[in-house]
Amino acid sequence: MAVAGGYGDSDASVAPDARPDGVVAVYPEWLREQVDEYLATVSFSQEPITDGLQEAMRYSLLAGGKRIRPVLVLASARAIGLDHAKMLPLAGAIELIHTYSLIHDDLPAMDDDELRRGRPTCHRVFGEDVAILAGDALYAEAFRHLLTVQQDEPERVLAAAAELALATGVNGMVGGQYLDVYSNSAHERTGGVDLRRVHELKTGRLIGASVTCVLLLAGAPEPATIAFRRFAAELGVLFQIVDDILDVTGTDAALGKPSGSDERHGRHTYVSEFGIKRARELAADSHAAARAALAQATSASVGAAGSPPPTELEQITDFIYTRSS
C-alpha cells in the first residue's frame, strides 16, 4: 500500500487523524486495555522492606501511555494466529524494560527532564538514587518475569530472552542512548554519527524485539521471522522520525512534557538534520516501507490459512505515523 508524499511545511490546519494522504489511525485500544490490566497485576516486592522501591517502579510503570511495544507484542501474536493472551508475560516484560529506559533517560545526568506523561519524572518524586535503582530493578524484573512466567518450550523462551538482551544492550537500546548523549553537547561532537543508525539502536531494536520475540516464542520458521524483523525495523525508524517531528510541532499538553526539548538539548534529530518538510517526507516514505514490509511478512507468515488478517499491526503502523503525542 503506497502512501503519497509528505505534508506542507506549515500546514497546521491538518488534524493528526486526517492526513492529506488519507491515512487515518484507529489504535487497537482494546489490546492496550488488556496490557494495562495485566501490568496493574504485576508486583515485584516479596516483602514490605522493599515496597518503597516497588512504589517508585510502579509510579513510572503505571503512568499510562499508548503501550505501543506491548500492544505490538499482542498484535503480532494475532497476526500469526496465536492466542494473544498467552503473550502477556512477554508484553509485560517489554513494557518494564521500556519504563526503565525512560526513567534513566530522564535523569539529571542524561536528559534532565522534569515531566513525563504529564507527571513529574521518577527522580523528581523519589530522588535520583531511588530512580536509578528503580530503573535497574525494572530491568532485572523484566527478565525474571519473562523467564519465569512466560509458558513456552524452554529453548524458545531462551531464544526470546536472548533477543531481548541483545536488543537492549550495547548493540541495541543502551548503545543507541550512548550514541545520542555522545553526539550531543556534553561530549565532543562526532559529526559522523549516522542518525538513522542511532535511532535504529535506541528505539528500533526494542520495537523490533516486540515483534520478533513473538515469532521466536511461537517457533516460527526463519523466513517469517526475518520478514517480520524487517517490518519491525522500519516501524522503529518511522516511530523516531515522527517523534522528532512532534517535538517541534506538538503541544506541551499533548506530549505530556515540554515540546522543543530536542532543540534545547542541541540534539541531532531528523528535523535538525533535514528540516521539517523533508522530515515529513521521510516519515511518509518510512510509513509506506513499513506497510510494504508488513504485507510481505504476512504473506510469508506461518499458518496463513487459518490466521485472521493482521489488522491490528496495520492499525499500529498507521497510528505511529499519524499520532499527535
Applying CB under 8 A, the site for its own copies has a residue count of 58
Specify the residue, 178 or 274, whose C-beta has the smaller distance to its own copies: 178
- The reply on whether position 179 binds its own copies by CB under 8 A is yes
Inter-helix orientation angle 88-106/29-41, to 10°: 80
* Residue 114 in the binding site for its own copies (CB under 8 A): no
- Give the nearest distance from C-beta 98 to its own copies in angstroms: 13
Interface characters, 265-284, with its own copies (x: CB under 8 A): --------------------
Q: Rule CB under 8 A: is residue 189 a binding residue for its own copies?
A: no
**According to CB under 8 A, which one of 171, 185, 251, 299 is a site residue for its own copies?**
171
Nearest partner of 186 among 197, 177, 173, 198, judged by Cα: 177
Contact status, residue 183 vs residue 268, Cβ threshold 8 Å: yes
Place of cell 530512580: 131
Backbone angles phi, psi at 116, to 5 degrees: -150, 125
**Using the rule CB under 8 A, is 47 a contact of its own copies?**
yes
Q: Which part of the chain contacts its own copies (CB under 8 A), choosing from 81-89, 138-146, 221-229, 293-301? A: 138-146
Q: Which is nearer to its own copies, 22 or 48 (CB)?
A: 48
Nearer to its own copies, 6 or 175 (CB): 175
Provide the CA 264 distance to its chain's centre, in angstroms: 23
Closest CA to 104 of 177, 31, 167: 177
Which of 137, 206, 207, 276 contacts its own copies by CB under 8 A?
137
Q: How far is the CB of 269 from its own copies (least distance, A)?
A: 18
Residue 286 to residue 244: CA distance in whole angstroms: 14
Q: Which stretch binds its own copies (CB under 8 A): 5-13, 74-82, 144-152, 305-313?
A: 144-152
Phi, psi of 120 (to 5 degrees): -55, 140
Give the count of beta carbons closer than 10 Å to the beta carbon of residue 305. Answer: 6
236 binds its own copies (CB under 8 A): no
Binder of its own copies out of 29, 37, 155, 263 (CB under 8 A): 155
CA–CA separation, 317 and 26 (whole Å): 10
**For its own copies, the closer CB: 68 or 174:** 174
Using rule CB under 8 A, residue 44 touches its own copies: yes
Residue 31 vs 198, nearer CB to its own copies: 198
Q: Which of 99, 121, 177, 269 binds its own copies (CB under 8 A)?
A: 177
Residue type, 182: Y
Q: How many CA atoms lie within 13 A of 56 on its CB side?
A: 25
- C-alpha cell, 143: 527478565
204: contact with its own copies by CB under 8 A? no
Q: Is the dihedral of CA 164, 170, 171, 177 positive or negative?
A: positive
292 scored as a contact of its own copies (CB under 8 A): no
Residue that is written with C-alpha cell 515529513 in the block: 280
Taking the alpha carbons at both ends of the chain, their separation in whole angstroms is: 25
Which helix (H) or strand (E) segment holds residue 84: the answer is none
H or E element, residue 11: none
Return the number of the residue (184 or 259) whose C-beta is nearest its own copies.
184
> Where do contacts with its own copies occur on this chain (CB under 8 A)?
44-47, 49-50, 52-54, 57, 104, 107-110, 127-130, 132-133, 135-137, 139-141, 143-144, 147-148, 153-155, 157-158, 161-162, 165-166, 168-172, 174-175, 177-179, 181-182, 186-187, 193-194, 197, 201
